[in-house]
Amino acid sequence: MKYVLGAKCVKCGREYPAAPGLTTCACGGILDIVYDYAAIRRHFSPKSLADCRDYSMWRYRPLLPVEEESAPPPLRVGWSPLYKADRLAQALGLDTLYLKDDGQNPTSSLKDRASALAVVKAREAGADTIACSSTGNAASSLAGNAAAAGLSTYIFVPSRAPRVISVEGSYEDTFELSRAAIDRWGWYNRNAAINPYLSEGKKTVTLEILEQLGWCVPDYIALSVGDGCTIAGAWKGLKDLYAAGFIDRLPRLISVQAEGCCPLNRAVQTGRPWAPMEENTLADSIAVGVPRNPDKALRAIRESDGVAVNVSDGEILEAMRLLGRTQGVFGEPAGAAGTAGVKKAVELGLIPAGSTVVSIVTGNGLKDVQSGIQAAGEPMRVSPDMDALLAAFAAQDIRP
Protein backbone atom coordinates (compact mmCIF):
# COMPACT_ATOMS: atom_id res chain seq x y z
CA MET A 1 0.00 0.00 0.00
CA LYS A 2 1.87 2.98 -1.37
CA TYR A 3 0.81 5.69 1.08
CA VAL A 4 -0.12 3.66 4.20
CA LEU A 5 2.30 3.82 7.12
CA GLY A 6 0.40 1.39 9.36
CA ALA A 7 -2.33 1.40 11.99
CA LYS A 8 -2.49 3.03 15.42
CA CYS A 9 -4.70 2.28 18.42
CA VAL A 10 -6.94 5.20 19.36
CA LYS A 11 -6.81 4.12 23.02
CA CYS A 12 -3.19 3.23 23.86
CA GLY A 13 -1.30 4.46 20.79
CA ARG A 14 0.28 1.08 19.94
CA GLU A 15 1.23 0.80 16.26
CA TYR A 16 0.70 -2.16 13.91
CA PRO A 17 1.66 -3.05 10.33
CA ALA A 18 -1.35 -2.70 8.00
CA ALA A 19 -1.92 -6.42 7.30
CA PRO A 20 -5.11 -7.42 5.41
CA GLY A 21 -6.67 -9.21 8.40
CA LEU A 22 -6.14 -6.34 10.84
CA THR A 23 -8.75 -6.02 13.61
CA THR A 24 -8.45 -4.45 17.09
CA CYS A 25 -5.51 -3.64 19.36
CA ALA A 26 -4.37 -6.08 22.07
CA CYS A 27 -5.78 -3.60 24.63
CA GLY A 28 -9.20 -3.84 22.97
CA GLY A 29 -8.94 -0.41 21.37
CA ILE A 30 -9.99 0.35 17.81
CA LEU A 31 -7.33 1.11 15.22
CA ASP A 32 -6.93 4.04 12.83
CA ILE A 33 -5.16 3.69 9.47
CA VAL A 34 -2.23 6.13 9.25
CA TYR A 35 -1.10 7.67 5.94
CA ASP A 36 2.02 9.40 4.67
CA TYR A 37 0.36 12.73 3.97
CA ALA A 38 3.58 14.36 2.76
CA ALA A 39 3.87 11.74 0.01
CA ILE A 40 0.19 12.10 -0.84
CA ARG A 41 0.62 15.86 -1.22
CA ARG A 42 3.41 15.27 -3.76
CA HIS A 43 1.39 12.95 -5.98
CA PHE A 44 -2.32 13.60 -5.37
CA SER A 45 -4.15 16.92 -5.54
CA PRO A 46 -7.49 18.45 -6.54
CA LYS A 47 -5.96 19.15 -9.96
CA SER A 48 -4.90 15.54 -10.57
CA LEU A 49 -8.25 14.32 -9.28
CA ALA A 50 -10.09 16.57 -11.74
CA ASP A 51 -8.59 14.52 -14.58
CA CYS A 52 -9.88 11.21 -13.14
CA ARG A 53 -12.78 9.63 -15.05
CA ASP A 54 -13.49 6.90 -12.51
CA TYR A 55 -16.67 8.26 -10.96
CA SER A 56 -16.82 5.89 -8.00
CA MET A 57 -15.28 5.69 -4.54
CA TRP A 58 -12.12 4.28 -6.16
CA ARG A 59 -11.17 7.68 -7.58
CA TYR A 60 -9.66 8.26 -4.12
CA ARG A 61 -7.31 5.24 -4.18
CA PRO A 62 -4.30 7.21 -2.83
CA LEU A 63 -6.39 7.79 0.32
CA LEU A 64 -7.55 4.17 0.59
CA PRO A 65 -5.69 1.28 2.27
CA VAL A 66 -5.59 -1.13 -0.68
CA GLU A 67 -2.74 -2.60 -2.69
CA GLU A 68 -2.01 -0.92 -6.01
CA GLU A 69 -2.69 -4.11 -7.96
CA SER A 70 -5.99 -4.88 -6.18
CA ALA A 71 -8.97 -4.62 -8.52
CA PRO A 72 -12.18 -2.95 -7.27
CA PRO A 73 -15.31 -5.12 -6.91
CA PRO A 74 -17.72 -5.30 -9.87
CA LEU A 75 -20.50 -3.08 -8.45
CA ARG A 76 -20.08 0.67 -8.87
CA VAL A 77 -20.11 2.19 -5.39
CA GLY A 78 -19.92 5.90 -4.63
CA TRP A 79 -20.21 9.20 -6.47
CA SER A 80 -23.82 9.48 -5.32
CA PRO A 81 -25.51 12.78 -6.15
CA LEU A 82 -25.24 15.91 -4.03
CA TYR A 83 -28.36 18.04 -4.49
CA LYS A 84 -28.72 21.70 -3.63
CA ALA A 85 -31.94 21.49 -1.64
CA ASP A 86 -33.36 25.01 -1.81
CA ARG A 87 -37.00 24.08 -1.16
CA LEU A 88 -36.09 21.96 1.85
CA ALA A 89 -33.76 24.69 3.11
CA GLN A 90 -36.63 27.17 3.00
CA ALA A 91 -38.89 24.74 4.90
CA LEU A 92 -36.23 24.30 7.58
CA GLY A 93 -35.32 27.98 7.85
CA LEU A 94 -31.80 27.61 6.44
CA ASP A 95 -30.06 29.72 3.82
CA THR A 96 -28.09 26.88 2.19
CA LEU A 97 -28.67 23.14 2.39
CA TYR A 98 -27.34 20.21 0.37
CA LEU A 99 -28.51 16.58 0.37
CA LYS A 100 -26.08 13.74 -0.25
CA ASP A 101 -28.30 10.89 -1.47
CA ASP A 102 -26.31 7.77 -0.65
CA GLY A 103 -29.42 5.65 -1.08
CA GLN A 104 -28.42 5.50 -4.75
CA ASN A 105 -25.58 3.07 -4.09
CA PRO A 106 -26.02 -0.49 -5.47
CA THR A 107 -27.83 -1.92 -2.43
CA SER A 108 -29.36 1.45 -1.54
CA SER A 109 -27.24 2.51 1.41
CA LEU A 110 -23.98 4.15 2.45
CA LYS A 111 -22.86 0.77 3.85
CA ASP A 112 -21.87 -0.26 0.31
CA ARG A 113 -18.75 1.87 0.74
CA ALA A 114 -17.56 -0.29 3.65
CA SER A 115 -18.61 -3.55 1.99
CA ALA A 116 -16.76 -2.73 -1.23
CA LEU A 117 -13.56 -2.18 0.73
CA ALA A 118 -14.21 -5.36 2.74
CA VAL A 119 -14.39 -7.36 -0.50
CA VAL A 120 -11.02 -6.00 -1.64
CA LYS A 121 -9.36 -6.65 1.73
CA ALA A 122 -10.86 -10.15 1.93
CA ARG A 123 -9.31 -10.93 -1.45
CA GLU A 124 -5.97 -9.53 -0.26
CA ALA A 125 -6.22 -11.75 2.82
CA GLY A 126 -6.93 -14.80 0.66
CA ALA A 127 -10.37 -15.30 2.21
CA ASP A 128 -13.33 -16.74 0.30
CA THR A 129 -15.97 -16.01 2.96
CA ILE A 130 -16.95 -12.75 4.69
CA ALA A 131 -19.22 -12.42 7.74
CA CYS A 132 -20.77 -9.63 9.78
CA SER A 133 -23.50 -8.71 12.22
CA SER A 134 -26.01 -6.08 11.16
CA THR A 135 -29.27 -4.35 11.95
CA GLY A 136 -30.12 -4.51 8.23
CA ASN A 137 -28.19 -2.30 5.80
CA ALA A 138 -24.75 -3.84 6.29
CA ALA A 139 -26.37 -7.24 5.74
CA SER A 140 -27.84 -6.48 2.32
CA SER A 141 -24.76 -4.45 1.40
CA LEU A 142 -22.33 -7.26 2.16
CA ALA A 143 -24.56 -9.84 0.47
CA GLY A 144 -24.73 -7.82 -2.76
CA ASN A 145 -21.10 -6.76 -2.97
CA ALA A 146 -19.74 -10.18 -2.02
CA ALA A 147 -22.05 -12.00 -4.44
CA ALA A 148 -20.91 -9.77 -7.31
CA ALA A 149 -17.30 -10.64 -6.43
CA GLY A 150 -17.96 -14.38 -6.12
CA LEU A 151 -17.41 -14.56 -2.35
CA SER A 152 -19.57 -16.39 0.20
CA THR A 153 -21.17 -14.65 3.18
CA TYR A 154 -22.62 -15.40 6.60
CA ILE A 155 -24.72 -12.58 7.98
CA PHE A 156 -26.15 -12.30 11.51
CA VAL A 157 -29.07 -9.97 12.27
CA PRO A 158 -31.25 -9.37 15.35
CA SER A 159 -34.63 -11.08 15.23
CA ARG A 160 -36.36 -7.74 14.59
CA ALA A 161 -34.56 -7.58 11.21
CA PRO A 162 -35.87 -10.63 9.35
CA ARG A 163 -32.89 -11.45 7.11
CA VAL A 164 -30.46 -14.37 6.86
CA ILE A 165 -29.32 -15.72 10.30
CA SER A 166 -31.92 -14.24 12.62
CA VAL A 167 -30.57 -14.16 16.18
CA GLU A 168 -33.14 -14.20 18.97
CA GLY A 169 -31.63 -11.31 20.89
CA SER A 170 -30.37 -7.74 20.78
CA TYR A 171 -27.81 -6.28 18.40
CA GLU A 172 -25.18 -6.84 21.12
CA ASP A 173 -26.07 -10.55 21.26
CA THR A 174 -25.97 -10.71 17.47
CA PHE A 175 -22.57 -9.03 17.32
CA GLU A 176 -21.03 -11.39 19.86
CA LEU A 177 -22.36 -14.50 18.09
CA SER A 178 -21.05 -13.28 14.75
CA ARG A 179 -17.63 -12.59 16.28
CA ALA A 180 -17.48 -16.07 17.81
CA ALA A 181 -18.42 -17.66 14.49
CA ILE A 182 -15.85 -15.57 12.60
CA ASP A 183 -13.14 -16.66 15.04
CA ARG A 184 -14.19 -20.31 14.85
CA TRP A 185 -14.26 -20.63 11.07
CA GLY A 186 -11.71 -18.01 10.05
CA TRP A 187 -14.05 -15.88 7.94
CA TYR A 188 -13.07 -12.36 6.94
CA ASN A 189 -14.57 -9.91 9.48
CA ARG A 190 -16.76 -7.21 7.94
CA ASN A 191 -17.88 -5.78 11.30
CA ALA A 192 -17.00 -2.10 11.01
CA ALA A 193 -16.31 -1.65 14.72
CA ILE A 194 -13.71 -4.44 14.60
CA ASN A 195 -12.19 -3.92 11.14
CA PRO A 196 -10.44 -0.52 10.79
CA TYR A 197 -10.42 -0.71 7.00
CA LEU A 198 -14.19 -0.34 6.78
CA SER A 199 -14.23 3.20 8.17
CA GLU A 200 -11.80 3.97 5.36
CA GLY A 201 -14.48 2.93 2.90
CA LYS A 202 -17.15 4.95 4.69
CA LYS A 203 -14.98 8.07 4.72
CA THR A 204 -15.31 8.33 0.93
CA VAL A 205 -18.74 9.89 1.44
CA THR A 206 -17.13 13.05 2.85
CA LEU A 207 -14.35 12.98 0.25
CA GLU A 208 -17.06 13.12 -2.40
CA ILE A 209 -19.04 15.83 -0.67
CA LEU A 210 -16.05 18.15 -0.53
CA GLU A 211 -15.07 17.47 -4.14
CA GLN A 212 -18.66 17.99 -5.30
CA LEU A 213 -18.67 21.32 -3.45
CA GLY A 214 -15.51 22.37 -5.29
CA TRP A 215 -13.48 21.97 -2.06
CA CYS A 216 -15.54 24.72 -0.40
CA VAL A 217 -16.01 23.54 3.18
CA PRO A 218 -19.59 23.64 4.54
CA ASP A 219 -20.24 24.78 8.09
CA TYR A 220 -21.94 21.54 9.15
CA ILE A 221 -22.34 17.97 7.94
CA ALA A 222 -25.25 16.04 9.48
CA LEU A 223 -25.68 12.29 9.61
CA SER A 224 -27.49 9.64 11.60
CA VAL A 225 -25.51 7.66 14.18
CA GLY A 226 -25.91 4.09 15.43
CA ASP A 227 -22.78 2.02 16.05
CA GLY A 228 -20.65 5.13 15.55
CA CYS A 229 -18.68 3.75 12.59
CA THR A 230 -20.14 6.04 9.93
CA ILE A 231 -19.60 9.31 11.78
CA ALA A 232 -16.10 8.13 12.69
CA GLY A 233 -15.38 7.37 9.04
CA ALA A 234 -16.84 10.67 7.88
CA TRP A 235 -14.58 12.58 10.28
CA LYS A 236 -11.53 10.51 9.27
CA GLY A 237 -12.14 11.47 5.64
CA LEU A 238 -12.36 15.15 6.49
CA LYS A 239 -9.17 15.02 8.55
CA ASP A 240 -7.39 13.18 5.73
CA LEU A 241 -8.38 15.91 3.27
CA TYR A 242 -7.15 18.58 5.67
CA ALA A 243 -3.83 16.80 6.29
CA ALA A 244 -3.33 16.24 2.55
CA GLY A 245 -3.93 19.94 1.81
CA PHE A 246 -7.20 19.59 -0.10
CA ILE A 247 -9.15 21.82 2.32
CA ASP A 248 -8.07 24.64 4.62
CA ARG A 249 -10.53 24.10 7.48
CA LEU A 250 -12.82 21.45 8.95
CA PRO A 251 -16.62 21.52 9.24
CA ARG A 252 -18.57 20.73 12.39
CA LEU A 253 -20.51 17.49 12.57
CA ILE A 254 -24.16 17.13 13.55
CA SER A 255 -24.61 13.75 15.25
CA VAL A 256 -28.25 12.63 15.07
CA GLN A 257 -29.59 9.74 17.12
CA ALA A 258 -33.09 8.49 17.87
CA GLU A 259 -34.45 9.54 21.26
CA GLY A 260 -35.22 5.90 22.00
CA CYS A 261 -31.61 4.84 21.47
CA CYS A 262 -29.01 7.60 21.88
CA PRO A 263 -26.12 6.34 24.07
CA LEU A 264 -23.43 8.32 22.23
CA ASN A 265 -25.29 11.63 22.06
CA ARG A 266 -26.31 11.26 25.69
CA ALA A 267 -22.63 10.97 26.61
CA VAL A 268 -21.83 14.15 24.67
CA GLN A 269 -24.77 16.05 26.13
CA THR A 270 -24.11 15.05 29.76
CA GLY A 271 -20.31 14.91 29.72
CA ARG A 272 -20.48 11.44 31.26
CA PRO A 273 -19.18 8.10 29.93
CA TRP A 274 -21.59 6.41 27.54
CA ALA A 275 -23.89 3.74 28.95
CA PRO A 276 -26.03 1.09 27.20
CA MET A 277 -29.63 1.89 26.26
CA GLU A 278 -32.64 -0.03 25.05
CA GLU A 279 -33.11 -0.17 21.27
CA ASN A 280 -36.46 1.60 21.09
CA THR A 281 -36.93 3.26 17.69
CA LEU A 282 -38.43 2.46 14.30
CA ALA A 283 -35.10 3.47 12.71
CA ASP A 284 -33.65 -0.05 12.84
CA SER A 285 -30.41 0.86 11.12
CA ILE A 286 -29.37 3.12 14.00
CA ALA A 287 -30.99 1.13 16.82
CA VAL A 288 -27.73 0.19 18.57
CA GLY A 289 -27.94 0.26 22.34
CA VAL A 290 -24.34 -0.88 22.83
CA PRO A 291 -22.29 0.94 20.17
CA ARG A 292 -19.15 -0.90 19.12
CA ASN A 293 -17.22 2.14 17.94
CA PRO A 294 -17.81 4.63 20.78
CA ASP A 295 -14.25 5.91 21.08
CA LYS A 296 -13.89 6.99 17.46
CA ALA A 297 -17.45 8.31 17.28
CA LEU A 298 -17.21 10.41 20.43
CA ARG A 299 -13.81 11.68 19.33
CA ALA A 300 -15.30 12.73 15.97
CA ILE A 301 -18.13 14.68 17.59
CA ARG A 302 -15.91 16.35 20.16
CA GLU A 303 -12.95 17.13 17.89
CA SER A 304 -15.28 18.76 15.37
CA ASP A 305 -16.98 20.82 18.11
CA GLY A 306 -20.04 18.97 16.92
CA VAL A 307 -23.72 19.22 17.74
CA ALA A 308 -25.56 16.23 19.24
CA VAL A 309 -29.30 16.13 18.50
CA ASN A 310 -31.83 13.45 19.43
CA VAL A 311 -35.04 13.09 17.42
CA SER A 312 -38.28 11.26 18.08
CA ASP A 313 -39.74 8.67 15.73
CA GLY A 314 -42.44 11.20 14.90
CA GLU A 315 -39.80 13.74 13.87
CA ILE A 316 -38.09 11.11 11.73
CA LEU A 317 -41.37 10.31 9.93
CA GLU A 318 -41.96 14.03 9.38
CA ALA A 319 -38.47 14.33 7.87
CA MET A 320 -39.27 11.46 5.50
CA ARG A 321 -42.35 13.38 4.34
CA LEU A 322 -40.39 16.63 4.00
CA LEU A 323 -37.63 15.01 1.95
CA GLY A 324 -40.14 13.54 -0.45
CA ARG A 325 -42.42 16.56 -0.69
CA THR A 326 -39.71 19.19 -1.19
CA GLN A 327 -36.90 17.34 -2.98
CA GLY A 328 -38.28 14.03 -4.25
CA VAL A 329 -35.76 12.05 -2.18
CA PHE A 330 -37.08 8.93 -0.44
CA GLY A 331 -35.08 8.10 2.68
CA GLU A 332 -35.57 5.21 5.08
CA PRO A 333 -36.03 6.23 8.75
CA ALA A 334 -32.31 6.11 9.56
CA GLY A 335 -31.57 7.83 6.26
CA ALA A 336 -33.96 10.67 7.01
CA ALA A 337 -32.83 11.03 10.63
CA GLY A 338 -29.99 13.36 9.63
CA THR A 339 -32.47 15.78 8.08
CA ALA A 340 -34.72 15.48 11.15
CA GLY A 341 -31.72 16.45 13.23
CA VAL A 342 -30.95 19.48 11.06
CA LYS A 343 -34.55 20.65 11.43
CA LYS A 344 -34.43 20.27 15.20
CA ALA A 345 -31.00 21.90 15.50
CA VAL A 346 -32.32 24.97 13.66
CA GLU A 347 -35.44 25.09 15.83
CA LEU A 348 -33.36 24.84 19.02
CA GLY A 349 -30.96 27.56 17.86
CA LEU A 350 -28.02 25.14 17.87
CA ILE A 351 -26.97 26.16 14.35
CA PRO A 352 -27.41 29.61 12.75
CA ALA A 353 -29.90 30.00 9.92
CA GLY A 354 -27.13 31.43 7.73
CA SER A 355 -25.09 28.22 7.91
CA THR A 356 -24.21 26.04 4.94
CA VAL A 357 -25.27 22.50 5.86
CA VAL A 358 -24.93 19.11 4.16
CA SER A 359 -27.32 16.37 5.28
CA ILE A 360 -26.38 12.79 4.34
CA VAL A 361 -29.32 10.53 3.47
CA THR A 362 -27.72 7.21 4.34
CA GLY A 363 -30.35 4.79 2.97
CA ASN A 364 -33.25 4.58 0.52
CA GLY A 365 -36.85 4.43 1.72
CA LEU A 366 -37.61 1.32 -0.35
CA LYS A 367 -35.58 -0.62 2.23
CA ASP A 368 -38.38 -0.02 4.77
CA VAL A 369 -41.64 0.32 2.89
CA GLN A 370 -43.82 -0.03 5.99
CA SER A 371 -42.24 3.04 7.57
CA GLY A 372 -42.67 4.84 4.26
CA ILE A 373 -46.38 4.09 4.36
CA GLN A 374 -46.50 5.21 7.98
CA ALA A 375 -44.83 8.49 7.01
CA ALA A 376 -46.93 9.17 3.93
CA GLY A 377 -50.22 7.73 5.16
CA GLU A 378 -52.46 5.16 3.53
CA PRO A 379 -53.55 5.91 -0.06
CA MET A 380 -56.99 7.31 -0.76
CA ARG A 381 -59.27 4.42 -1.76
CA VAL A 382 -62.19 5.11 -4.11
CA SER A 383 -64.37 3.13 -6.46
CA PRO A 384 -63.89 3.74 -10.23
CA ASP A 385 -66.50 6.48 -10.36
CA MET A 386 -66.13 10.26 -10.70
CA ASP A 387 -68.79 10.96 -8.07
CA ALA A 388 -66.88 8.76 -5.61
CA LEU A 389 -63.66 10.62 -6.43
CA LEU A 390 -65.34 13.99 -5.90
CA ALA A 391 -66.79 12.84 -2.60
CA ALA A 392 -63.40 11.62 -1.41
CA PHE A 393 -61.80 14.94 -2.41
CA ALA A 394 -64.49 16.84 -0.55
CA ALA A 395 -64.03 14.67 2.56
CA GLN A 396 -60.34 15.58 2.67
CA ASP A 397 -60.83 19.19 1.55
CA ILE A 398 -58.81 18.60 -1.65
CA ARG A 399 -59.41 21.25 -4.33
CA PRO A 400 -57.76 20.27 -7.65
Query: Dihedral of the CA atoms 138, 140, 142, 145 (nearest 10)?
Result: -140
Percent of the chain with pLDDT over 90: 80
Interval 169-224: pLDDT, tens: 887 888 889 989 999 999 999 987 789 999 999 999 999 999 999 999 999 999 99
Interval 92-134: pLDDT, tens: 999 999 999 999 999 999 999 999 999 999 999 999 999 998 8
The pLDDT score that the predictor gives to residue 161 is 59
Question: Which long-range CB contacts under 8 A does 242-249 form with residues at least 24 apart?
Answer: 243/35, 243/37, 244/35, 244/37, 244/40, 244/41, 244/44, 244/63, 245/37, 245/41, 245/45, 246/45, 246/46, 246/210, 246/215, 247/210, 247/215, 247/217, 248/217, 249/217
Half-sphere exposure of residue 356, counting CA atoms within 13 Å on the CB side? 10
Is there a contact between 78 and 204 (Cβ–Cβ < 8 Å)? yes
User: Residue 273: pLDDT band by 50, 70, 90 thresholds?
Assistant: very high
* Mean pLDDT score, 60-79: 96
- Answer whether residue 6 shows pLDDT above 90: yes
Percent of the chain with pLDDT over 70: 98
